[in-house]
Amino acid sequence: MVGHPEDNENLTDNEGSTDGEDFLAAERDIRKRLGDRELDLDSLHAISNIYRAATAVRRRAEREVLAQHNLSWGGFTILWVLWVWGQMDTARLASECGLAKGTLTGMLTTLERRRLVEREQVKTDRRKVTVALTSDGLTLIEDLFPRFNAYEVAMSEGLSLTEKRELARLLRIVISNALQKGVRG
Amino acid sequence: MVGHPEDNENLTDNEGSTDGEDFLAAERDIRKRLGDRELDLDSLHAISNIYRAATAVRRRAEREVLAQHNLSWGGFTILWVLWVWGQMDTARLASECGLAKGTLTGMLTTLERRRLVEREQVKTDRRKVTVALTSDGLTLIEDLFPRFNAYEVAMSEGLSLTEKRELARLLRIVISNALQKGVRG
DNA sequence: CATGAATCGTTCGGTGCCAAAAGATCTCGC
DNA sequence: GCGAGATCTTTTGGCACCGAACGATTCATG
């Protein structure tokens, strides 16, 4: 048995408040509970909040912006990348979207069935396949993206311009660390 | 380096470099490609980098830290929360882990089958179930967490203490926005 | 040319994960 | 007490998503 939940308070009897505020709870007093091991709590909070923010932002976007078009976050990302960058082969598309190749295949099939994207074999190298938006896909993303961006603005509420840029900058450092190859296992 | 917008037909001829650097490519020249719509690119970069960072960090953690114990990120999170906070009912656990309740059920079953956690019906309210670490689970998380924290430190490399705290702070604002209830539909 | 190595997309097996519906239990007015 | 409604968890159905294995194609080398 770990910790003493009853020590400080009855954690379980404020059930109504599990949203919007007590997500901070998990951060409180962690040091107290963990004692003085050699832990870097600042790294912990920085990294774990990334994931927490990402799932919260994603889930809400899927509910409030994407669901009306039957798009998942991943599907939306695919359309967006193709919109901004134009057609590209699947390997690059997967990398741009942050997806495994195998994952992309299935999602492309879904999008293709809905006539939002099109696959085409590359003539000069028949191993490769390029993917492009159809006109339906173009219409959809052009209609949807401004609303998605408005959602991003809403998620950034309370951040100044400087802070948004700082947030993006700090995250880029983390991304770069995570994508770096070949650490010691 | 990737990206001259002009010759984007030939994006495919620099294939080897899809890691570690050209994740920045998607950010460059977006304005040029998108024209002058009323878009807030600072919010876009801030928010989209959150997700990009989260998946990169998660995937690598699962490969390099968690896989040797057959744990997913979600499974690890459950153990960690139970470790830090002690036993709790499933609703609260789901909220702490950022999971849907239904998701938690399945993952708890997996963890329970491996004897890492235990469910127990609450006597005073038989609808509720509390979850606690078993001694095996305790052993595992106590062994694993220091290594996980070392991984978090590695992912924060290049960030000063101040920057880590700033990153966590800015993310908390985003989390709070995303968890807020009842925006206009 | 021929053949082994490299590269590319897809297939496959298995979780993770969600939303909605179902099932179980408690509560409260009457 | 008793039934309607509120609260819990679990079940269900369906994608998303990964890693490894596979088949097809291209390329390098002799």
Q: What is the per-residue pLDDT for A51? A: 92
Helix or strand or coil: residue A69?
helix
Give the strand order in the sheet containing B88-89.
B88-89, B129-133, B117-121
The tokens of A158 are what?
């309370």
CA distance A108 to A78: 8
In a domain, residue B180? The reply is no
Q: Within its chain, how far is the Cα of B126 from the centroid? A: 32
CA distance A137 to A91: 20
In a domain, residue B71? The reply is yes
Which sign does the torsion angle of CA B94, B99, B100, B106 carry? negative
Asked if pLDDT for residue A30 goes beyond 90, the answer is no
Asked if pLDDT for residue A141 goes beyond 60, the answer is yes
% of chain B surpassing 90 pLDDT: 59
Q: What is the per-residue pLDDT for B27? A: 55
Q: What is the per-residue pLDDT for B174? A: 94
Asked if pLDDT for residue A24 goes beyond 60, the answer is no
In a domain, residue B162? The reply is no
- Spatial distance from the CA of A151 to the C1' of C22 (Å): 34
Q: Which residue of A has its CA nearest to B64?
A: A185
How confident is the model over A143-174, as pLDDT tens digits?
999 999 999 999 999 999 999 999 999 999 99
User: Nearest residue (Cα to C1') for C11?
Assistant: A102
**Structural contact between residues B22 and B2, judged by C-beta atoms closer than 8 angstroms:** yes
In a domain, residue A102? The reply is yes
Question: What is the end-to-end Cα distance of chain A in Å, rounded?
Answer: 32
Asked if pLDDT for residue A20 goes beyond 60, the answer is no
| DSSP summary character for residue A71 | -
In a domain, residue B176? The reply is no
> Whole domain around residue A105: which residue ranges?
24-156
Asked if pLDDT for residue B25 goes beyond 70, the answer is no
Q: What is the per-residue pLDDT for B38? A: 78
Could you give the number of structural domains in chain B?
1
Interface contacts (A, B; CB < 8 Å): 288
In a domain, residue A38? The reply is yes
For residues B33-57, average pLDDT: 87
Residues 6+ apart with CB under 8 A from B121: B128, B129
CB nearest to A178's CB, from B60, B166, B170:
B60
Q: Kindly report the CATH number assigned to the domain that includes residue B122.
A: 1.10.10.10
CA distance A130 to A140: 20
Query: Which bases in strand D are touched by protein, i.e. have an atom under 7 Å from a CB?
Result: 7-13, 15-21, 23-27
In a domain, residue B48? The reply is yes
Query: Mean pLDDT lowest for which of A108-122, A125-139, B20-34, B85-99?
Result: B20-34
Mean pLDDT across chain B, nearest whole number? Answer: 81
User: To which H or E segment does residue A77 belong?
Assistant: helix A73-85
Q: What is the per-residue pLDDT for B68? A: 85
In a domain, residue A146? The reply is yes
How confident is the model over A75-130, as pLDDT tens digits?
999 999 999 989 999 999 999 999 999 999 999 999 999 999 999 999 899 999 99
Q: Within its chain, how far is the Cα of B143 from the centroid? A: 21
What is the band of B150 on the pLDDT scale with cuts at 50, 70, 90?
very high
Q: What is the per-residue pLDDT for A152? A: 95
What is the band of A9 on the pLDDT scale with cuts at 50, 70, 90?
very low
